[in-house]
Amino acid sequence: MNSPLSTEIGSQLIMLFAALMLVMQLLLVVQRMLLTNVRLFALQSLMLTAIAAVVAYYYNATHVYIVAVLTLVGKVIFLPWLLNRLVRRINIVQEIEPLFNAPTSMLICGGLTLLGYLVARPFTTLHKLGNNTLAIAITLLLTGFFLMINRRKAISQVLALLTIENGVMLAAVALTTYGMPLVVELGIFFDVMVAVMVLGILVYRIRESFASMDTSKLDQLKG
Amino acid sequence: MLLTPILVIPLAAALACLLVPWRRLMEWINILAFAATLALGVQLLHEVLAHTVVTEWREFFYADALSAWMVLLISAVSLGTSLYAGRYFRRDLAAGVVTAGRIKEFFVLTPLFATGMLLVVLANNLGVMWFALEATALSSVLLVALYNRKTSLEAAWKYIMLGGLGLALALFGTVITYAAAVGQGGGGRLPSFNWSHLMTVAAQFDPGLMKLAFVFVLVGYGTKAGLAPMHTWLPDAHSEAPSPTSAMLSGVSLKVAIYALISFNILTAQCPGTGYSRNLLLGFGLFSMFLAAPFILVQSNLKRMLAYSSLEHVGLICAAVGLNTPITIFGALLHMGYHALTKPVLFFAAGNIHQTFHTLKFRVIGPGVVKVLPVTVLFMGLAAVAAMGLPPFGLFYSELTVLSGGFAAGRTFISILVLMALIAAFCGILKQLTRILPGARKVERPNDATAWDGVPAMGLLVGGLLVFSVWFPDPLLQLIHQAAGIIKGKS
C-alpha cells in the first residue's frame, strides 16, 4: 500500500468500474442485436481488466497483473472475436422477442440489484479495498440468470453464462484482496476458453440439425 | 511417485488415441490405461493405509482414505466402460448410427473425462478441484452429444447450460470460501488454498461468509451431482448419451460431484456454529429420493428410468452423509461403491437392448426380452435385484447400515422417510422391469448373434459386486472406516 495515490482513490476507482460493469449488464438485458451484445460483453470484460489492474497496482501484486492481461487477451479480444465469427457464420442478426419486454426486464433487474445488496449487506464491513463489490458480483450473477431465462437464442445464453462468469471473477479479484492463487486463475481462464469453444461447437451443431438456434425448440425431452 | 502416474496414464491414453488411426488399438489403449489405473489405485490403497495420507508435488496432489476410495471407484467403472465400449461402437458403426470420427471422439474424450474425475479427488487446492470438475463437464458434454441426434443435442445443451450455471455458482462459493479464509488473516495473503491447510485453520474462518459459501457450493456442485431440484439435466443426459457414457456419468461422475460437496461440508463443519451444512445435505438428499420414486414409476423410457434410479441413490448417499453419524457415513461410502458396480451393468444391458430393438420405449421393447437376449437379461436381472436393494447384494447391506445408523442415532422420523422412499423406488423398478423382461413375446424376433455382447464388462462388474457382497477384504474395510472418520471430523 505504499503507492502515491491514496487507497481511497483506488477504492473509488474499483467501485466506479464495478458499477460500469453493472451498467453494461443492464444494457445487455435490454439490447437485442446480437453483435452489439457481444460488444457490450467485451466492454464489461474491459472494466474487469481495469479493476484487476487497479488491484494489482495498489497491492503491487504481480500475479494479479497476469490476471489482468489474461482477461484482456481472453475476454476482451479473443472471445468476442470468436463469438462475432460465430454470429456471422450462423447468420442471425437479432434475438427474437424475449419472454419479458424491455421495461419489465428493467424492473426485474432493479429488484435483483436490490436483492444483491441485501444479501451482501452483512459482509460489507470488511475493511478491504473494494469491499462493496460483493453486492455487484451477486447482482451480476442474478441478472445473468435472468438474462439466460429471458433469451431463447443459444448464443445469447452463452453470453449470459459469460457475464455470470464475469461476476464471479469480479468477486475473485476484488473480494479476496490479492485475487486467487495464480494456478487457480490460470485454470479458470483456460476452462472458460475451452467452454466457449465447446459451446460454439454445440451451437453450430444445433443450428445444423434444427435449422434454428432457438432453444425453445429444444423441447422433446420431458418427464 | 504414485499419484502422478494415476493422472498421467489416462491423459496419455487420450493423447495416444488422438494420434493412432486404428480403432482396435484405441480400444486396447483405453482398456490397458484403465487397468493400469486400477492397479495403481489398489497400490494407493495400501500406501494410504500405511501412511494415512500420500502427497506429491509439494502437497499439490493429496490423497487420503476418501480420495483413495474414489480413485478405486473411478478406475473400476472406467475399466468396465472401456471393455464394453469396443463392441458397442462396432455394432453402432455397422448399423450406421455413428461415424468413425465420432468413435474416435469417444475414445479420446473418455480418458479425458476420467482424468478430470481423478484430478477432482486427488487435487488438494479447492480451486484446482473446481477446474477439474469443469473439465469433466466439458469432456462429457461432447460425449452426450455424440450421436448428434436432435434429442441428444437438446440433452447436451441442457446439460452444459445447467452444468455451467452450477459450476459458476460453485466457483463463486469457492471464491467466498477463499475470502472467508483470508478474512481471518486480517486481509493478508493466504499461504495456500489447499484443503489440507484450510482444515488446520478452519476454526477461525468467518462463519457468516462460510455459510454463504456453502449455500453456493451446495447448489453449484449439487447441480453436477444431480440433486433435486437441480436434477433436470440428469435424465436427459443419461438417456441420450451412448450407453458407455451413461454408465460413466451415473456410475461415478455424480459421486465425484458429491465428493466435492463432502469436502466443503467437512470444511464448513469445522467452523463454529455451522453444523447446518449437513442439515442442508440431508434436506436435499431426502428431497431427491422422494422426487425420484414417482418418476421411476411413470417413465416410459428404460434409460430415463435408470437415471431416476441414480437420482434416488445419490439422494440416499447425501442424506446418509447429512445424518452425520459414523454408521450412516460408513453406509454412504459403502453404498457409493456398490452402486458404482451395479448401475453401469444396467446401462450396458440397456445399451444391448437399445441396439437390438432400436428403441428404449418400454411399450415397444415389450414383454419377453429374455427370449431375445437371454444373457443380457440375466445380468440385467442380477443388477436390478441389487439396485432395488435386495439381499444377497451389497446395496442391501449398505441401505440397512444407513437405516440402522439413523434409527440408532434417534433420528426415527427421518429414517422412516428414507425407508419409505427406498420402498417406493423398489416398487417402481420392480414394476417397470417386470413389464419388459419376462413373459412371452407378442412379436416374434429372431435370436440374433449378439447374445454374448458386453459379457466381459457386465461379468466383471457383477462378479465384483457378488464377491464384495459376501466377502469384504480387510484393507478395503479399513480404508472405508478411515474415510468415514475423515468425513465425520472431530465435531
What DSSP character marks residue B236? H
Chain A positions touching B172 (Cβ under 8 A) are 137, 141, 167-168, 171
Backbone dihedral angles phi then psi of residue B55, each to the nearest 5 degrees:
-130, 155
Q: How do the domains of chain A map onto residue ranges? A: 7-213
Average pLDDT, chain B: 89
Q: At what angle do helices B374-387 and B394-408 cross, to 10 degrees?
A: 10
> Residue B56: enclosing H or E segment and its boundaries?
strand B54-56
Provide the residue-wise pLDDT of chain A in tens; the chain has 223 residues.
455 567 778 888 888 999 999 999 999 988 888 889 999 999 999 999 999 898 888 877 788 888 899 999 999 999 999 999 888 887 777 777 777 888 898 999 999 999 988 888 777 655 555 567 888 888 999 999 999 888 888 888 889 999 999 998 888 876 766 667 788 888 888 888 889 999 988 888 888 887 776 777 777 777 6
Domain that holds residue B437: 3-488
Q: Are B289 and B316 in contact (CB under 8 A)?
A: yes
**Chain B residue with the nearest C-alpha to that of A154:** B157
Contact assignment for A218 to B153 by CB distance below 8 Å? yes
- Give A6-60 pLDDT, tens digit per residue: 777 888 888 899 999 999 999 998 888 888 999 999 999 999 999 989 888 887 7
Q: Residue B385 has what pLDDT?
A: 92
Q: Using CA atoms, how far apart are residues B77 and B338, in angstroms rounded to an integer?
A: 11
Nearest to B171 among A168, A202, A220 (CB): A168
User: B134 — contact with chain A (CB < 8 Å)?
Assistant: yes
What predicted TM-score, i.e. pTM, was given to this entire model? Answer: 0.92
Which amino acid, one-letter code, is at B441? R
Nearest to B127 among A123, A157, A181 (CB): A181
- Give B437-459 pLDDT, tens digit per residue: 888 777 666 656 566 778 889 99
User: B207 — contact with chain A (CB < 8 Å)?
Assistant: no
C-alpha grid cell, residue B279: 442439515
B199 vs B122, higher pLDDT: B122
User: A64 — contact with chain B (CB < 8 Å)?
Assistant: no
**pLDDT beyond 70 at B316:** yes
B209 vs B428, higher pLDDT: B428
Chain A positions touching B187 (Cβ under 8 A) are 126-128, 177
CA distance B422 to chain A (A): 20
**pLDDT beyond 80 at B77:** yes
Q: Kindly state the average pLDDT of the residues B225-229.
A: 89
Contact assignment for B157 to A141 by CB distance below 8 Å? no
Contact assignment for B155 to A221 by CB distance below 8 Å? yes
Q: Using CA atoms, how far apart are residues B376 and B382, in angstroms rounded to an integer?
A: 10
Chain A positions touching B209 (Cβ under 8 A) are 123
Strand partners, B119: none
Instruction: Name residues 100-129 of chain A within 8 A of B (Cβ).
Output: 119, 122-123, 126-128
The count of domains in chain B is: 1
Residue B91 burial (10 A CB sphere; 0-12, 13-18, 19+): middle
Q: Residue A1 has what pLDDT?
A: 45
Percentages (nearest 5) of helix, strand, coil residues in chain A: 80, 0, 20
Band of residue B57 on the pLDDT scale cut at 50, 70, 90:
confident
CA distance A150 to chain B (A): 14
Nearest to A220 among B151, B165, B208 (CB): B151
A97 vs B52, higher pLDDT: B52
Average pLDDT, chain A: 84
Q: Residue B447 has what pLDDT?
A: 58
Q: Kindly state the average pLDDT of the residues B407-413.
A: 90
- Give B188-197 pLDDT, tens digit per residue: 566 778 888 8
Q: Residue A121 has what pLDDT?
A: 77
Instruction: Name residues 193-212 of chain A within 8 A of B (Cβ).
Output: 194-195, 198-199, 201-202, 205-206, 209-210
Q: DSSP states of A200-212 as a string?
A: HHHHHHHHHHHSS
Which candidate in B109, B152, B172, B174 is best for mutational testing of the A interface (most A CBs within 10 A)? B172
Q: Residue A101 has what pLDDT?
A: 84
Chain B positions touching A60 (Cβ under 8 A) are none
Q: Residue A3 has what pLDDT?
A: 52
Q: Residue B207 has what pLDDT?
A: 81
Contact assignment for B175 to A175 by CB distance below 8 Å? yes
Q: Residue B441 has what pLDDT?
A: 77
User: B448 — contact with chain A (CB < 8 Å)?
Assistant: no
Contact assignment for A221 to B150 by CB distance below 8 Å? no
**Chain A residue with the nearest C-alpha to that of B149:** A209
C-alpha grid cell, residue A80: 468476442
Contact assignment for A123 to B154 by CB distance below 8 Å? no
CA distance A94 to chain B (A): 21
Nearest to B131 among A119, A126, A191 (CB): A191
Nearest to A195 among B127, B138, B145 (CB): B138
Alpha helix locations (H) across B96-149? 100-122, 126-144
Q: Kindly state the average pLDDT of the residues B130-154.
A: 92
Preceding peptide of B242 cis, ω within 30°:
no
User: A223 — contact with chain B (CB < 8 Å)?
Assistant: yes
Q: Residue B439 has what pLDDT?
A: 80
Question: How many other CB atoms sit within 10 Å of the CB of residue B301?
Answer: 19
**pLDDT beyond 90 at B334:** yes
Q: Residue B135 has what pLDDT?
A: 93
Size of interface A-B (CB pairs under 8 A): 132
Band of residue B491 on the pLDDT scale cut at 50, 70, 90:
very low
Q: Kindly state the average pLDDT of the residues B119-123.
A: 94
**pLDDT beyond 60 at B143:** yes
